[in-house]
Structures are given as structure tokens and as C-alpha cells.
Amino acid sequence: MKQLLLLFLFAVLISTQAASQPPVGLHADDQASRAWISSPRPNPASVSTTFEFSLGDNANDARILIRNLTGIIEIAQVLDIATSKQTIDISSLRQGMYLYSLEVNGRIIHTQKLVVGR
């Protein structure tokens, strides 16, 4: 039952994100074809975790968002466009599963899970 509830919450989060995003098309500035983010290291993590990323040529602003399973943003880390690595302090997060997203120019490019353990 708990797994079913988690799947439902995840589906609601993803459908909410998809509904708020502009339609995807073949545009010269389409960041989805060039931007990427690595899996966090370590994962599971307890104090901090590190991401490697590439934002593409047309990135003006970028963030890593860490959400709880109800979709509430717990951490929003602005990325320095000139770098390719970011370590995030997650010590304020409770133990459990979270979703991290790479947001470039206001669009969610990638979402995956992050596990916080103690």
C-alpha cells in the first residue's frame, strides 16, 4: 500500500511538471538536447552530495531543485553556468527519498531520485 501511495504521488508530481512546461519542439535553443546532469554522488547521501552537469550553449540560468515526494521544493541551488560540478549540503533534509531536477532557463530538463540516509 505504501509503494502504491508513493507511485501515485510521483505520478502526480510528474504530471504537474509536464502540464506547467511549454510544448517541446525542435528549436535551436532547445536545452533538452544538450543539457544533462549526472547521478548524485554519493547516493544514498547523508551530509552532502555532488552533481556534475552540462548546460548547453544557450543557458542563461540553471538550478538544481530537490523536492520531497509531495512536490514541495526543499532545496533550490542556483548553478554557476561557468562550472560543471556542484556540491549541495543536504544535512537539513530528513531521511527518505527525494526527487532532484535540473532546471535550465525555467524548464525542467531531467528528474531522478535522491536517497537521504543517516
Which residue, 91, 106, 99, 92, is CA-closest to 67?
Answer: 99
> Distance between CA 16 and CA 84 in Å, rounded?
29
Q: What is the pLDDT of residue 34?
A: 83
Q: What is the pLDDT of residue 107?
A: 94
> Distance between CA 54 and CA 64 in Å, rounded?
12
- Region for residue 106 given its phi and psi (left: phi exceeds 0; alpha: psi -120 to 50; beta: otherwise): left
- Domains of the chain are 2-21+34-116 (2.60.40.1930)
Q: What parts of the chain have a pLDDT lower than 70?
A: 1-33
Which ranges of the chain does DSSP label H, i.e. alpha helix? 2-20
The residue ranges of DSSP E strands in 1-118, in sequence order, are 36-37, 48-54, 62-67, 73-78, 85-89, 96-104, 107-116
pLDDT tens column, 19-40:
445 444 445 455 455 899 999 9
Quick one: what percent of the chain has pLDDT higher than 70?
72
DSSP β-bridge partners for residue 56 = none
Q: What is the pLDDT of residue 25?
A: 45
Q: What is the pTM of this model?
A: 0.73
Q: What is the pLDDT of residue 110?
A: 93
Q: What is the pLDDT of residue 57?
A: 84
C-alpha cell at 85: 560540478
Q: What is the pLDDT of residue 82?
A: 87
Q: What is the pLDDT of residue 12?
A: 55
Give the contacts of 7 (CB within 8 A, at least 6 positions apart): none
Q: What is the pLDDT of residue 20?
A: 47
